[in-house]
Amino acid sequence: MTMVAILSGAGISTDSGIPDYRGPNGVWRKDPGAERLVTYDAYMSDPAVRRRSWRMRLEGPVMGARPNAAHRAIAALERTPGFAVRVLTQNVDGLHQSAGMPERKVLELHGTARAVVCTGCHARSPMEDVLERVRAGEADPACTDCGSVLKSATVMFGQRLDPVVMGQAVGIAKAAEVFLAVGSSLQVQPAASLVGTAAEHGARLVIVNAEPTPYDAVADEIVREPIGTALPELLEQLKAG
């Protein structure tokens, strides 16, 4: 049984119509102000930021996005006898699960945009339910249970990653025989540190990303080709031994 861990970043979902953050056409480069929409202190303290954030989620591409060839190739590898596959994703779009990866084999390091959490009573509900309220005219919907501020169940800038999820991810990185970092700038910590952990523990490290990353020097292989074609080919090679 070959243990394969895949760290996926925004670049794996661009073929699904979701722009990345730091690439040449990235969200932060095109609209630096957009970063405030996902910064915890700004979101909690400024109703205008919250209103714009809900409009962004309502009008943005995430909820309607569908998995692409790269997501499907990973799910196909998971179904292949002889491979134990775990996905550690920086993405919040849920596309790995939509492509067929079992929920328990996907660790969402930065949470999920498909759910909403109350910052007061911590109740969770589907994102789509709250977006219906926004469509109906609620610009800044509050928790129906306690009246507190609602936010997407994502880890915003200024929030800590879930230590339990991160601990599980570190364990997977240490155990991996093959570690692929796909579509990530590897600039956001602590998620990016998983690459170094895997390399230190003997994993074969493959980085698939359009731009150089801080971890290129420790990679066994670097692939700059488009992810939608390069990743399925890589995984087919892996299956073939």
CATH of the domain at 86: 3.40.50.1220
C-beta of residue 63 within 8 angstroms of C-beta of residue 226: no
Average pLDDT score over residue span 35-58? 94
Residue 173 three-state SS: helix
Closest CA to 90 of 177, 1, 4, 195: 195
Question: Residues 89, 185: one domain?
Answer: yes
CATH number of 47's domain: 3.30.1600.10
Q: Is 110 a catalytic residue?
A: yes
Active-site annotation holder among 96, 110, 122, 201: 110
Which residue did the predictor score with more confidence, 163 or 33? 163
Question: Residues 87, 189: one domain?
Answer: yes
pLDDT digits (tens, 9 = 90+) for 182-240: 999 999 889 999 999 999 999 999 999 999 999 999 999 999 999 999 999 999 999 98
Average pLDDT across the chain, whole number: 94
CA 183 to chain centroid? 10
Structurally, the chain folds into a number of domains equal to: 2
Average pLDDT score over residue span 60-72? 95
Question: Residues 213, 187: one domain?
Answer: yes
Enclosing domain of residue 124: 24-60+111-154
pLDDT digits (tens, 9 = 90+) for 2-35: 999 999 999 999 999 998 765 555 555 556 667 8
CB-facing half-sphere around the CA of 33: CA atoms within 13 A: 5
Question: Residues 14, 29: one domain?
Answer: no
Which residue did the predictor score with more confidence, 170 or 35? 170
d(CA 90, CA 192): 9
Strand partners, 178: 4, 204
Question: Residues 187, 125: one domain?
Answer: no
